[in-house]
Amino acid sequence: MNALTPFLPTIAALVKIGLLVGGLMTAAAYLVLVERWMAAWVQDRKGPNRVGIPLTKISLFGLGQPLADGLKIIMKEDFTPRHVDKVLYTAAPLVILAASLAIFAAIPFGSVLPPLGIPGLPDPVPFLVAPGLDVGVLWVFALSSIAVYGVLLGGWASNNKYGFLGGLRSSAQLVAYEIPLGLGLLGVVLAAGSLKLDVIMNAQAQSGIWYAFAQPLGFIVFLVASFAEAARLPFDLPEAEQELVGGYHTEYSGIKLLLFLVAEFLHMVTAAFLIVIMFLGGWHLWGVTGSSQEVTWLGAFLRFGVLSAKIFAVILFFMLVRWSWPRFRFDQLMNLAWKVMLPLGIANLVTVATIEEFRPQLIERFGAGPAGVIALVAPWAVFFLGWIAAGVLTPSGTDNTPIRTHTMLDAERSLREPDLVEV
């Protein structure tokens, strides 16, 4: 025991990494199956339901499908086209997958374990790979901005017009939506007073008010921005199949394509984790999980279960949206980011900052209860005002009426008078 003691934190971190990576990879494989089921349900057909236990005739509702899919894509020839930049072509999927896995170093996947009483280990053991990292939210932000490199390099190294256009679109989109994402996140950081995600969860558990209720505008901004960051359907321009074949991974096949697809799924899982942890209370559920730091074994696993269930629900929401919404046009996408989400995010941030600044004075004047009510009502008022303003002003609205160029004469006139053309 004495010889092992200095290495115990390292061993604990390795165990957590193993559990997390194994769980995430399995979850990604099965989420593909869930997505296909969801697609089948929305389109009123039967999804994959044939593959079960290999070499038998037993089909467990198609639960063997991920295995078959994985084997198929791994066994495919790892083909590298001759016209690509070989080094960057190989590096791009590795970069994007490594970045999207490393994000989880700072993301808690539960609360804490009850004290184990092992000397050399911090008690209680947190469900977090890097508990000492004091900049958790920024770490997530930094690594999700590294993921842009995978997309950009994949598109460029493919030496293919579709791939390059997909890469450019994607990086423009990711850079644009990082700003509303950050603004939505800042409100929560300001209210919780910490950049650590576990502290943010604890703050919600202690007050019992999830930040989605305390900052509705921030929640909406963050939700939309994380859809865009994960490149899910209303924002899936980087790989719009009808326009760009496959976008930045047009030239990829086999295991490299698999890495890209897994990374994309992990982005969605990361977004779901962040939405749940920052806005939907994390492991907290009223009357079920309690809110203190002392937990029993049952409580620890209950919290883990609540967090997982919430994340699964958010992922189902992501999938449902995929089959219910049409894709944005690129100018609509940019208008939404800069003209709607950015002002709304700033409005949310200013509201939260004002409330946090004057909270002590409010409590002093009205007492704790009414002050809490004011702190809850004011953000909702701002939320509805912002909604109405966005609806009345329609800053992202575009004139979609077709240009009337029926005859050659009309065409010439419209070219001479650019007002008709400029929409």
Q: How far is the CB of 289 from another protein (least distance, A)?
A: 16
CA-to-CA dists, residue 153 to 85, 98, 118, 245, angstroms: 10, 14, 46, 18
Segment contacting another protein (CB under 8 A): 24-32, 127-135, 236-244, 330-338?
Answer: 127-135
Backbone φ/ψ region at 285: left (φ over 0), alpha (ψ -120 to 50), beta:
beta
Of the pair 49, 171, the CB lying nearest another protein is at: 171
Of the pair 109, 156, the CB lying nearest another protein is at: 156
Using rule CB under 8 A, residue 279 touches another protein: no
Using rule CB under 8 A, residue 248 touches another protein: no
Q: How far is the CB of 292 from another protein (least distance, A)?
A: 10
Of 286, 269, 277, 263, nearest in space to 128 by CA? 277
Using rule CB under 8 A, residue 202 touches another protein: yes
CA distance 357 to 192: 13
Backbone φ/ψ region at 222: left (φ over 0), alpha (ψ -120 to 50), beta:
alpha
CA distance 93 to 260: 5
Residues in region 76-95 near another protein by CB under 8 A:
88
Q: Cα dihedral sign for 244, 248, 251, 254?
A: negative
Residues in region 351-410 near another protein by CB under 8 A:
356, 360, 408
Of the pair 326, 418, the CB lying nearest another protein is at: 418
According to CB under 8 A, which one of 194, 253, 308, 405 is a site residue for another protein? 194
According to CB under 8 A, which one of 73, 199, 346, 420 is a site residue for another protein? 199
Half-sphere exposure of 373 (CA within 13 A, CB side): 4
According to CB under 8 A, which one of 18, 193, 208, 397 is a site residue for another protein? 193
Residues in region 144-173 near another protein by CB under 8 A:
145-146, 148-149, 152-153, 156, 164, 168, 171
Largest CA distance in the chain: 91
Using rule CB under 8 A, residue 321 touches another protein: no
Q: Is 294 helix (H, G, I), strand (E, B) or coil?
A: coil
Tokens of 85: 């930049």
Q: Is 116 helix (H, G, I), strand (E, B) or coil?
A: coil
Using rule CB under 8 A, residue 206 touches another protein: yes
Q: Answer for the pair 290, 197: CB distance below 8 angstroms, yes or no.
A: no
Residues that bind another protein (CB under 8 A): 10, 88, 132-135, 138-139, 141-143, 145-146, 148-149, 152-153, 156, 164, 168, 171, 175, 178, 191-195, 198-199, 202-203, 206-207, 293, 356, 360, 408, 411-412, 415-416, 418
